[in-house]
Amino acid sequence: MSTSRTAKPSAAASGSFALGGDLNVHRLGFGAMRLTGKGIWGEPRDRDECIAVLKTALDLGVTLIDTADSYGPEVSERIIAEALYPYRENLVVATKAGLLRPGPGRWEPDCRPQHLRAAVEGSLKRLRLERIDLLQLHTVDPKLPYAEQIGTLVELQREGKIRHIGVSNVNLEELEEARQLATIVSVQNRYNLGDRESEDVLDYCAREKIGFIPWFPLATGDLAKPGGRLVEIARRLRATPAQVALAWLLAKSPVMLPIPGTASVEHLKENVAASGIMLSADDLAALDA
């Protein structure tokens, strides 16, 4: 039996954040990418377990679920609707558009206006929504002007199909350009203990009160090696290294909205329990070093 923290987890312990000023979500969310097959392709190995994961996430206080039309493709969105529709009033289902899936493990940008429009219409149908609370442009398509890509989402927002717009996988210059064209309420970039390349984007989001959604949040790099600082802190707190990595993210910034994903109810409970872990100033300094 695991000795890590699993008892009575609650995402509420991590506090809340108002996406766009009007969507209050608990800061520890759930990423639904893993509710698919190998290579983020096709149906999951155990669909019933995936449905149980989603239902349990809500019971544990999760109010932000992040997905994308490219997860499966389409599989993750369909499972979310199957498990959770009709949705609870306080639940925010965020999705993304802008990537094609030629095959397992393969991703290709496609942010042409016609593709984005078709993607949003498809997500609305699969998720059984009249409006998507948060639609994030999944990537920056180098084949056409970024203004054209963001502009299409602005048009869809004016048409009432999108409530808020977010961007993903952007550098600081691209984020600033997007903000000249639209009100951007979230940024989803890779960020974790072992990869802090987007530190400047995170700092910008903190100053501007923009939600920062780190993808691949559980990667720990060399810190998780035997005898490493992360392992020692986890042992002292009777937690797993992954739980400490999530606690570090939550402590890093009030705009941080981690979305760890899993297809296991047990693993989900461990992840959510990380919101109750309090790291000391010395712990944070050791992990930041």
240: in domain: no
What's the half-sphere exposure (Cβ side, CA atoms, 13 Å) at 266? 4
Residue 245 belongs to a domain: no
Domain membership flag for residue 237: no
Does the reported pTM lie above 0.75? yes
Summarize pLDDT for 144-162 with one digit per residue, the tens: 999 999 999 999 999 999 9
Residue 272 belongs to some domain of the structure: no
Give the CATH number of the domain where residue 195 resides: 3.20.20.100
Helices (H), 60-136: 75-84, 113-127
For residue 66, the SS3 value is: strand
Residue 247 lies in a domain: no
Residue 24 — φ and ψ, nearest 5°? -80, 120
In a domain, 2, yes or no: no
User: What element of type H or E holds 134?
Assistant: strand 132-137
Contact 53, 33 (CB under 8 A): no
Q: What is the pLDDT of residue 199?
A: 97
- For the chain, the domain total comes to 1
Cβ atoms within 10 A of the Cβ of 110, count? Answer: 19
Could you tell me the residue range of the domain that residue 27 belongs to? 11-218+252-263
Q: Is residue 235 part of a domain?
A: no
Task: Determine, yes or no, domain membership for 284.
Answer: no
Catalytic residues: 71
Judge contact between 166 and 135, C-beta under 8 A. yes
pLDDT tens-digit profile, the chain (289 residues): 344 655 344 555 579 999 999 999 999 999 999 999 999 999 999 999 999 999 999 999 999 999 999 999 999 999 999 999 999 999 999 999 999 999 999 999 999 999 999 999 999 999 999 999 999 999 999 999 999 999 999 999 999 999 999 999 999 999 999 999 999 999 999 999 999 999 999 999 999 999 999 999 988 777 888 888 999 999 999 999 999 999 999 999 999 999 999 999 999 999 999 999 999 999 999 999 8
The pLDDT, as a whole number, for residue 226 is 85
